[in-house]
Amino acid sequence: MKKERRIRLLIKLTFVFIIFAFIAFYSSAVFLTNEADEFINISLEERFGKTERKIYHHILRGDSLEKVSHFGVIKPLADLPDTNNYPVFSDTTIYDEDLDLERVYKKKTTIIEAGGKYYEITILRSIDDFMRLREDIFGSLIPAFILLAVSFVVFSYLLSGYYFRPFNKILELMKTYKVGQGAEVKSVNTSTLEFNKMQDLFHEMIYRIENDYKRLKEYTEHMAHEIQTPLAIIRNKTENLISDNSVMDKHSETVKIIYEETNHLSKLGTTLNLLTKIENNEFNNAVNVFTKPVIEKHISAVSEIVQLKSLSIETELNEKHFLFIDPILLDIIIKNLLNNALNYAANNEPVKIKTGKDEMIFSNSGEVLPLPEEKIFERFQRNGNSRNSLGLGLALVKKICDLNNLRISYQYLNSIHFFIVKDS
Amino acid sequence: MKLLVVEDNIQLLEDMREFLTEGGFRVEMSSSLKEAKDKVFLYQYDLLIVDIGLPDGSGLELIKEVKQKKYDCGILILTAKDAVEDKVAGLNLGADDYMTKPFHKAELNARIKSILRRNKFNGSDILELFDFKINVPASEVFVNDEKIILTKKEYDLLLYFVHNPNRVITKESIAEYLWGDHADQADNFDFIYNHIKNLRKKITSAGGKNYIHAMYGMGYKFSLEEN
């Protein structure tokens, strides 16, 4: 999948806003300049018209041309030139000595007829003021636009933290939400409609999830619990059959299988029940427990089995290592990790248990796993078809670790399996 | 010996009655807390077997009442396997022992007998069966009056057999009895065979017979004759 660039919403909005503002400013600048040009033309036309009429009247009155020369250059014409070529407009700059600057003039050359004679008159008009007006339009719009854009960027940068705080808080709640913690999730106060909508939706979703989860869990709980009594009865009845020679002589194999499978099912039910209880957080008397005595207790419980299996256990236990956990749960963790190590340990190779300052490691040598490493903590992933393994031990350990802020990891190095429990 | 079994599942109750009657006990049954309270009030029992989860209340209430009124009877509680808190509460109230459901009947038998023995003989009891004499408080075993030295596991195993003579005891049941929570570790039951082999050897070398008979590859029977 192509990775798109991710841009923050407010930055995006600011960017779009600036583009729009630019277009608005630019078009109004163009509009205003056009208006100004039109205004300049109209007022120039008016002034030129007035001057032409004054000259006309002076000539009619018979005043000498010198007397009206301050209006412009007036040349009498012998013939009527081609009037199609007139009037002629042009811009020109003239150096003004008094002000020591170049001034811009508009020049109009036209033909007038007065007293039966034709005159070519050329008149000038300074348009400095007009030009300045025109420049002022750009001169004021550009800084205004820049000021607006800069302040917008700065504000959006500064305010994005403030206005998005509720949003980030809601995200944080979503991130930390875990199924099964109950529908009570803190709400974040916000006056922003969108964030409120999102939050409401989030709460509704949690409510639905929690409901479904509760129902599913109840179902599992009931199932696991309710099968226990029928199983106990089946087992007892089977034990009756085992004591009956006339049955056993004919059907010993069948009875044996029924008995074994019933036992298996019964253990499964019990363990699943335990798993649900752990999930329900019913073991919540967490205290700081030193691991050394607990590990030693479990080692002594299995010492006979270890000996009969020709295995050995080597320990390197730190007296100060402890975990913050309910002691019952610690028992389950250690028992299962130990059983797992003993189950899969290669003969004549020691099972090692080591506790350091902040970690507890169970290791045993053995063949490489026949299943993907990441599946090792999943339920019912057992190595081979061992009848004695329920396939729940490591899942149980993982569940307990997850619920008690512990991290369990698995590694396979130099033909040795490592299970490492750490504070997370 | 008179027992009262308080259990709400009729099938299980009937099954336990049948089994315990066979073992020579007089068994009364009750499937509710109220009925059980009435019976305890009216009659004298040597032992109460109480399920904690009853339809009309907790079996713990019955234990509380029995202890308050100082009735002279042993109490064995039955709990679901994972209900640790029930177990602890029951023992704190003064119950003698607990068993988790589902249980093996042979183990039930062994536990009942050991509670009764503790309560009735006050520590001076000698168990006698076949050629065996077992001084339970001292954990000493005599075969034809000759003392044999057993390991802890062998002794436990022998006691389990002595409590359940002439019955097939399954390997699973033995494993759970001997290793408890670590029974899963005793896979393929070679360990049990090992202990049984050693126990047999010690008994026969003291002049005893082979009383432990393998049955159909499923378990063992402790009896004088093989069938």
Q: In the numeric block, which tokens belong to residue B51?
A: 């399920």
Percent of chain A with pLDDT over 90: 1
Nearest to B184 among A245, A252, A388 (CB): A388
Buried b (16+ CB within 10 A) or exposed e, B73-93: bbbbbbbbbbbbebbebbeeb
Residue A86: closest CA among A104, A68, A112: A112
* Contacting residues of A for B80, CB less than 8 Å apart: 225, 228, 273
Verify whether the Cβ–Cβ distance A256 to B218 is below 8 Å: yes
Is the pLDDT assigned to residue B124 strictly greater than 60? Answer: no
At B74, phi and psi to the nearest 5? -80, 160
- ipTM of the prediction: 0.72
pLDDT digits (tens, 9 = 90+) for B37-72: 888 888 888 889 998 888 888 888 888 888 888 778
CB within 8 Å of A374: residues ≥ 6 apart: none
C-alpha to C-alpha distance for B77 and B155, rounded to whole angstroms: 25
Residue among A231, A255, A308 minimizing CB distance to B102: A231
Flag whether pLDDT at A2 surpasses 60. no
Pick from A301, A268, A256, A239: nearest CA to B108: A239
- Whole-angstrom CA distances from A166 to A11, A162, A188, A199 are 18, 8, 6, 10
Residue A383: predicted pLDDT: 61
The reply to whether B190 touches chain A by the CB within 8 Å rule is yes
Q: Which CATH architecture has domain A287-423?
A: 2-Layer Sandwich (3.30)
Contact B102/A387, CB-based, under 8 Å? no
Report the C-alpha gap between B107 and B70 in whole angstroms: 27
Domain ranges of chain A: 10-154, 168-226, 230-279, 287-423
Q: Is B172's CB within 8 Å of A248's CB?
A: no
The verdict on a CB contact (< 8 Å) between B179 and A305 is yes
Considering only residues 68 to 107 of chain B, which have any Cβ-Cβ distance to chain A shorter than 8 Å? 80-82, 84, 101-105
pLDDT tens-digit profile of B175-186?
888 877 666 665
Distance of residue B187 Cα from the nearest chain A Cα, in angstroms: 6
A29, pLDDT greater than 70: yes
Contact flag A248-B215 (C-beta cutoff 8 Å): yes
Q: What is the pLDDT of residue B187?
A: 60
* DSSP string for A82-107: -GGG--EEEEEEEEETTTTEEEEEEE
Average pLDDT estimate for A34-63: 85
A221 vs A297 pLDDT, higher one: A297
Whether residue B121 is predicted with pLDDT greater than 70 in this model: the reply is: no
Q: Where are the domains of chain B?
A: 2-121, 126-222
For residue A72, the model assigns a pLDDT of 79
Give the nearest chain B residue to A339 (CA atoms). B185
The secondary element (H helix, E strand) that includes residue A196 is helix A193-226
Q: Would B2-121 and B126-222 be classified into the same CATH topology?
A: no
Give the residue on B whose Cα is nearest the Cα of A225: B80
| Distance in angstroms (rounded) separating the CA atoms of residues A95 and A98 | 9
pLDDT, one tens digit per residue, over B191-224 is 788 888 888 888 888 877 888 888 887 888 888 8
Who among B82, B153, B179 is closest to A273 (CB)? B82
Q: How big is the A-B interface in CB pairs under 8 Å?
A: 97
B138, pLDDT greater than 80: no
What residues are paired with B135 via a beta bridge? B126, B140
pLDDT tens column, A311-341: 888 888 888 888 888 888 888 899 888 888 8
Using CA atoms, how far apart are residues A386 and A382, in angstroms rounded to an integer?
8
CATH of domain B126-222: 1.10.10.10
Mean pLDDT, range A143-152, rounded to an integer:
88
The pLDDT score that the predictor gives to residue A279 is 79
CB-CB under 8 Å, A328 with B182: no
Per-residue pLDDT of A78-129, as tens digits, reads 777 777 777 788 888 888 788 788 888 888 888 887 777 888 888 888 887 7
Q: Which residues of B touch A273 (CB under 8 A)?
A: 80-82
Can you give the pLDDT at residue A65?
Answer: 74
C-beta neighbour count of A263 within 10 angstroms: 21
Contact A239 B186 (CB under 8 A): no
Residues of B in contact with A235 (CB under 8 A): 102, 104
What's the pLDDT at A23? Answer: 92
Once rounded to an integer, what is the mean pLDDT over residues A134-158? 84
Q: Which of B17, B181, B182, B194 to mutate to test the interface with A (most CBs of A within 10 A)?
A: B182
Instruction: Quote the minimal CA–CA distance from B119 to chain A in Å.
Output: 28
CB A343 within 8 A of CB A386: yes
With a cut of 60, say whether residue A171 has pLDDT above it. Answer: yes
DSSP string, B110-130: HHHHHHHHHHHHTT--EEEET
Q: Looking at beta carbons, which residues of chain A come within 8 Å of B192? A: none
B220: left (phi over 0), alpha (psi -120 to 50) or beta: beta
**Residue of chain A minimizing CA distance to B222:** A243
Question: Span B110-131, mean pLDDT?
Answer: 76
CB A319: neighbour CB atoms within 10 A? 10
Residue A69 has pLDDT above 80, yes or no: no
How confident is the model over A226-243, as a mean pLDDT? 83
When the candidates are 3.10.450.50, 3.90.1720.10, 3.40.50.2300, 3.30.420.40, the CATH number that belongs to B2-121 is 3.40.50.2300
Q: What is the CATH number of domain A10-154?
A: 3.30.450
Chain B CB contacts of A305 under 8 Å are 179, 182, 185-186, 191
pLDDT reading at B188 higher than 60 = no
* Helices and strands (DSSP H and E) totals, chain A: 9, 11
- C-alpha distance from A339 to closest chain B C-alpha (Å): 7
pLDDT of B227 reads 58
CA–CA gap between residue A199 and residue A182 (Å, rounded): 16
Instruction: State residue B226's pLDDT score.
Output: 63
- pLDDT mean over A231-245: 84
B131, two tokens: 């050629």
Cβ of B218 under 8 Å from any chain A Cβ? yes
Chain B interface, best mutation among A253, A297, A306, A388, by max B CB count within 10 A: A388
Q: Is the pLDDT of residue B154 over 70?
A: yes
Residue A241 has pLDDT above 80, yes or no: yes
In the structure, what pLDDT confidence band is assigned to residue A3 with cuts at 50, 70 and 90? low
Segment A376-414, tens digit of pLDDT = 887 777 665 555 567 788 888 888 888 888 888 888 888
Q: Which residues of A touch B227 (CB under 8 A)?
A: 245
Chain B positions in Cβ-Cβ contact with residue A328 (cut-off 8 Å): 84
Q: Find the closest chain A residue to B179 by CA distance.
A: A301
Which residues of B fall within a CB distance of 8 Å from A283? 84
**Residue A386: predicted pLDDT:** 55
